[in-house]
Amino acid sequence: MKDVKTIGVLTSGGDAPGMNAAIRAVVRAGLEKGFKVLGIMRGYNGLINEDMVEMDYRSVSNIINRGGTFLYSARSLEFKEDAGVEKAKETCLRVGLDGIVVIGGDGSFRGAADLSRKGIPCIGIPGTIDNDIACSEYTIGFNTALETAMDNIDKLRDTTQSHDRCSVVEVMGRHAGHIALNVGIACGATYIVVNEIPYDLNDVLAHIQKSRALGKKHFIIVVSEGVTDVYKMAKDIESATGIESRATVLGHIQRGGSPTVKDRVVASQMGWKAVELLAEGKSNRVVAVKDNDIVDYDIAEALSMKKTIDMNLYNMAKSMSL
Ligand code: F6P
């Protein structure tokens, strides 16, 4: 096993609140072990273009409370090609990088696996608001995104209620309904549309009519992105029920803001663990939460795992949303 002297850290893919806390943990854990630590800018592009900065204890002061990522992030197209990975490897050899911590989602871990195969040890940390990394019960940013979406939908409720309207709200999640399901429950949505269950407008209408018959006068419908056009859905609801309806897409607002306690703590634990793994000479691993513990998996194994929504939670929400 080669002695680890220098490590790097990068953020890749969509940013998520708590990424800065994870970077801070990687930097401080690395320094504590006597490593030189490099902050790699703009995801894998920073490796390809040798855009990196040496970090010290003060480089990561005052960032634990900040959303976004101070190393910037990117979805590097060049790194998707073997020539790009080869360039990144050459940079690593030139600057003497003995290991890299990659904070991001599935796509970022595929890149980490490619680089690990070329002999550059990489450890992944799940950072995405979507909570869609199958090997981990939790991904950095999810809790903050839930809080942000909840705050915004609470505000929508005020105006929806004042006008006896129906609000159709689209939340993020890429192909996963974890944000929609949890926020839908927290906001008392009349109906929650998730990617994992086939969408049926008639079922939504039937549910609205049922709750209307029980005296409900305003309605919040939470829809996970990518399932259907929420503007058309609002029009369809209005024409089928006569209830004035409006659509709102929360969008990237869900990715911003100061991370919650949970995101700061999990990010710190994961950053620390990733550096321990590199120090032990490990490579091609993803850090994960399992039964409230911080564990790690082989990247290929992690990427082959499947995650779905909690059907008990979904059924409970549907039954109590009348
Ligand atoms: O993965 C995080 C995420 O915010 C998804 O929820 C969303 O589908 C996607 O990224 C949006 O990506 P972009 O920032 O490229 O528009």
Kindly report the protein residue whose alpha carbon is nearest to atom 10 of ligand 1. 14
Average pLDDT rounded to a whole number, residues 166-186: 98
pLDDT digits (tens, 9 = 90+) for 31-87: 999 999 999 999 999 999 999 999 999 999 999 999 999 999 999 999 999 999 999
Out of 130, 132, 263, 296, which one is annotated catalytic? 130
pLDDT for residue 75? 94
Q: Is 126 in the pocket of ligand 1 (CB under 6 A)?
A: no
Q: Is 130 assigned a catalytic role?
A: yes
In which residue ranges of the chain is CATH 3.40.50.450 found? 6-141+259-304
CB-neighbour burial class of residue 311 (10 A; exposed 0-12, middle 13-18, buried 19+) = exposed
pLDDT digits (tens, 9 = 90+) for 305-316: 999 999 999 999
Strands in 285-290's sheet, in edge-to-edge order, are 52-55, 36-40, 6-11, 99-104, 122-126, 285-290, 293-298
Q: Can you tell me the distance from the alpha carbon of 157 to that of 180, in angstroms, rounded to the nearest whole number?
A: 16
Average pLDDT rounded to a whole number, residues 83-106: 97
pTM for this one? 0.97
Taking the centre of ligand 1 as the mean of its atom positions, its distance from the CA of residue 14, in whole angstroms, is: 6
Taking the centre of ligand 1 as the mean of its atom positions, its distance from the CA of residue 88, in whole angstroms, is: 25
Average pLDDT rounded to a whole number, residues 2-11: 92
Q: Is 283 in the pocket of ligand 1 (CB under 6 A)?
A: no
- CA-angle at 175, arms to 80 and 268, nearest 5°: 75
Q: Is 4 in the pocket of ligand 1 (CB under 6 A)?
A: no
CATH tag for 6-141+259-304 (out of 3.40.50.450, 2.40.30.10, 3.30.2320.50, 1.10.3720.10): 3.40.50.450
Q: Is 172 in the pocket of ligand 1 (CB under 6 A)?
A: yes
- 142-255: which CATH architecture? 3-Layer(aba) Sandwich (3.40)
In which residue ranges of the chain is CATH 3.40.50.460 found? 142-255
- CA-angle at 24, arms to 20 and 30, nearest 5°: 145
